Amino acid sequence: MMKTSKTLPFTALVLIVMLLSISLFYSCGANLFSTSEDVKIGEDLDREIQSKPNEYPLLTNNPEITNYVSDLGKYILNSSPKIEYKNVFPYKFQVINDTIVNAFCTPGGFIYVYTGLMKFVDNEATLAGVMAHEIAHAERRHMTQRLTSYYGISMLMGVILGNNPNAIAEIAANLFVGLGFLANSRSDEEEADDYSIKYLMTSKYYPGGIQYFFDKILKKQQITGTVGGGLDRLLATHPLPQDRIQNVKDQMKSHKLVNDSTKGIYHDEYQILKSKLN
């Protein structure tokens, strides 16, 4: 009995220290998930998206468009040596046929691009910039970092006590019930912007393509006084404060990148592609 009485307080103390340490790690971008769990969550979410055609109407009758988006995504992956998990994550690029101007990424490299976004942008470099931004969310593992912050302590307790073996499936399910896709933080957005530029620096595209996207959103705001037109969801999940815009300008300047509309933009080629969107 004396041995038990000494062991229990010690175990509790160790557990408390572990939990306090993890709480501190959250602020430093800690992630309790493994990359294989990123993939598992992404696969579960992809199945859920596939099962909700009314909410996520995947484009299935225009292989030219779907192949174009997939090929563009694969090109970005293959052109950048800075993409760490290209051979770890399954990376899958899909198109959602909806007027919403948005793209999103789930863990493990499952990336979804709306036709509304494709119609909104004016050149291929801009679309490449947005897709590289989404790849960065996968590579920097932003969603599972946020899930760690949201679930971390309770999930760890479940693992330690052995009473929550289905934690990953539970988390994936909850993303579609109430929590949604957990809006990106400002720091996540700025980091994804930074890496979008870095990824495209070794590609054929002008690396600052995402700046054109920002410029068009701001122009629409100036003209209409609001975003509307399918942009509301984008700004709800991808906030665009002035400091984020300034960050991209600063990054471009630090990399000594010059905006040359005659190189790496692919405007005319993209117009042909846009004409094939329904």
Query: How much is the average pLDDT of 155-177?
Result: 63
- Tell me if 13 is assigned to some domain: no
Query: Given pLDDT bands bounded at 50, 70 and 90, which one contains residue 5?
Result: very low
- Tell me if 229 is assigned to some domain: yes
Q: Per the structure block, which two tokens stand in for 62? A: 């225009």
Q: Which residue has the higher pLDDT, 175 or 108?
A: 108
- Tell me if 8 is assigned to some domain: no
Query: Given pLDDT bands bounded at 50, 70 and 90, which one contains residue 150?
Result: confident
Window from 3-7, 32-36, 220-224 with minimum mean pLDDT? 3-7
User: What is the pLDDT, as a whole number, of residue 227?
Assistant: 55
- Tell me if 255 is assigned to some domain: yes
Q: Domain count for the chain, please give it.
A: 1
pTM for this prediction: 0.83
Q: Per the structure block, which two tokens stand in for 72? A: 């563009």
Window from 26-30, 242-246, 256-260 with minimum mean pLDDT? 26-30
User: What is the pLDDT, as a whole number, of residue 213?
Assistant: 93
* Whole-number Å distance between alpha carbons of 235 and 178: 19
User: What is the pLDDT, as a whole number, of residue 177?
Assistant: 66
**pLDDT of residue 170 exceeding 90:** no
Give the domain extent around 79.
35-143+177-274
- Tell me if 235 is assigned to some domain: yes
Identity (one letter) of the amino acid at 39? V
Q: What is the pLDDT of residues 118-134, one digit of tens each?
A: 999 999 999 999 999 99
- Tell me if 14 is assigned to some domain: no
- Tell me if 202 is assigned to some domain: yes
Beginning with the edge strand found earlier in the chain, give each strand of the sheet holding 110-114 in spatial order: 92-96, 110-114, 103-106
- Tell me if 45 is assigned to some domain: yes
